Structure 1
Amino acid sequence: MARIRTIKPEFPQSESIGQLSRDARLLFLQLFTVVDDFGRARASSRMLASVLYPYDDDAKDLIDSWLDELEEKGHIRRYRVDGTLYLDIPNWLKHQKIDHPSKKGLPEFTEDAREGSRGLAPDLGPVPVSRTNIRSVAKATRPRRGEEFEKFKAEYPKRDGSNPWTPAEKLFDQAIAAGMDPTDLIAAARRYRAECDRKGLTGTDKVAQAQTWLRQKRWTDYADTPPTLQLPAAEDQSFWDHVEQTYRSAGIWSRHAGPKPGFPDCRAPTDVVRRILEIDEAKRLSGDGMQFGSEGNESDERPRQAAG
């Protein structure tokens, strides 16, 4: 049975809470309704979006960035036990008075179980990654990546309202890790700003939050000569290899390849259709927040047709 939770009067004045975006603040409060008496809950983003935002269709695409923001600021911790992802709210029992707590059901947080603390070696399954190695890699890559993001941030149009840059930077890094050239992202942001200037949108709430713009891969709308358009002239094996590789690395189905597998009139070869649907299914089962769609369009969640 659901329990009544307490929100202290000083919550709105908390400096640490004030550093969160409004969406992350709302999510934090809503998590109070689903965590158990020890401040723990299952952390599948799809499940949380459906339970906490039943009337918001876009929540499933945005909730991962809100969870990232909460975790970065120390308001939640995510961890994995036996393949299942959980979260907890640190110091939960200091802020909630539980007279007769229920029996412990969900596993508790440990540093070893923290999400992201383990790596995956090819063909060998999960193996521990030392914190020393993580720090050395981070130190080697973060300065340059940070400089590139600052350039992106400088080119991005100003907006009226919140525009949290921390989750945007994570999405920027993810796009580069997936194969995007940072200079292409920066140039696309510059073209988006020019369009907003031309339409009189700069400085208004009509400008998309940078995290939304990046998550929905809107840079494809403002690309000059994006790599995904540099395709072989004929639809031979090299053409379909290129289309499939682009989808694997960047999550974009080329418009030159016609309708995506799972949609009417798809003309991709049967083996390509099968592999693309397998990629989509693997992403769905893993709860990965990456959205797969076609160039210039947001992903479409219509039911897939059976592969030939």
Structure 2
Amino acid sequence: MARIRTLKPGFFKSRSLAKLPRDARLTFAGMWCEADDHGRGIADARLLKGAIWPLDDDVTFLHVSAHVDMLAATGHIRLYQIDDEAYYEVVKWEQHQAAAYRRGEAKYPPVSAGQEIETLGSRGSVQESATGTQSSAGTGNREQGTGKHISRSTSSTEAFEDFQLDEPLIDPTYVIGSDDDPKFCEFWAAVPKKDGKDDARAAWAKHVQGKGTYKGQPIKQTDPDVIIAGMLAYAERVRRDGTERKHIKMAEGWINGRRWEDEQHPEPRPMQGAGSSIWD
């Protein structure tokens, strides 16, 4: 059962959180409520969707999975696996919650008892994402992306240091298509067949920036939210139709073929920046 938590005013002024989509921030707040008294919870996007977004039909567990992946990538939570179960732990939990109540016994094991992972994958949990990317013990090395620099996240300790406002928490550069690119992370979380990630990075960078050619034709620049919406629609269709894995399109070919145009009205789902939330 979720408990009442303390949410400091600085939560809304955090520069690190401000770099994330608004919906990801609300998911993060909801994960605080779902966590045990030691800041740990089950990292299953389907359960989190039901607990945090029960009345929002336009938010699916794929969206929540992307939120969780982004929170892990920016150092706000740690993801780890024990056997076939995935868990999360809120970074610096004690500094923000210890004074609010008398902590009870931990319901879930600590990070040290398992193996850290980088992402849940599009199915939303370890046992449901056998083809998803998992890291070895520790966070491991981040894969390099392709394209120009936009922003790169700092270490987990810097990213959540008491919500400080007087020091920058996010480096102003990241590589489009890297694991520090929040839009690519959101896209990759939705991909139902997680093969050929490096090729998908290159295709993503070209189409988001409108650079290069494909089959002799110049590539048109496309809003990343349009691509994400199309992939979410495609992933849902694959799930609904029970498509065999061998018939699911690879992400690179799907992007290069502009397959988001095949889906029915894949509207962009802006989630970041002023006036871009689905609440607006």
TM-score grouping bracket, smaller chain normalisation: 0.5 to 0.7
Aligned partner of 1:165 in structure 2 is 183
Match among 196, 200, 204 for residue 177 of structure 1: 196
* Gap change, CA 1:129 and 1:46, over 3 Å in 2: closer
For 2:110, what is the secondary structure of its paired residue?
coil
Aligned partner of 2:229 in structure 1 is 212
For 1:11, what is the secondary structure of its paired residue?
helix
For 2:9, what is the secondary structure of its paired residue?
coil
Please show how residues 1-308 of structure 1 align to structure 2 within 5 Å. 2-57=2-57, 58-96=59-97, 97-110=99-112, 112-116=114-118, 129=136, 135=141, 142-143=143-144, 145-147=145-147, 164-168=182-186, 170=188, 177=196, 208=225, 210-217=227-234, 246-248=246-248, 250=250, 296-297=262-263
Is the contact between residue 80 and residue 111 of structure 2 (CA under 8 Å) also seen in structure 1? yes
* Gap change, CA 1:72 and 1:129, over 3 Å in 2: closer
TM-score (norm 1): 0.50
Q: Which runs of 5+ in 2 are unaligned?
A: 120-134, 151-174, 211-216, 236-242, 252-259, 265-280
Aligned partner of 1:234 in structure 2 is none
TM-score (norm 2): 0.54
RMSD of aligned residue pairs (Cα, Å): 4.7
Is the contact between residue 164 and residue 211 of structure 1 (CA under 8 Å) also seen in structure 2? no
1:209 deviates by 5.0
1:95 deviates by 0.5
For 1:50, what is the secondary structure of its paired residue?
helix
- Distance in structure 2 (CA, Å) of the matches to 1:115 and 1:79: 5
Larger RCO (alpha carbons 8 Å, 6+ apart)? 2
Larger radius of gyration: 1
Q: Which runs of 5+ in 1 are unaligned?
A: 118-127, 155-162, 197-201, 219-242, 252-293, 299-308
1:4 deviates by 2.1
For 2:228, what is the secondary structure of its paired residue?
helix
Corresponding letter in the other structure for 2:68: L
* Gap change, CA 1:164 and 1:178, over 3 Å in 2: closer
* Gap change, CA 1:168 and 1:65, over 3 Å in 2: closer
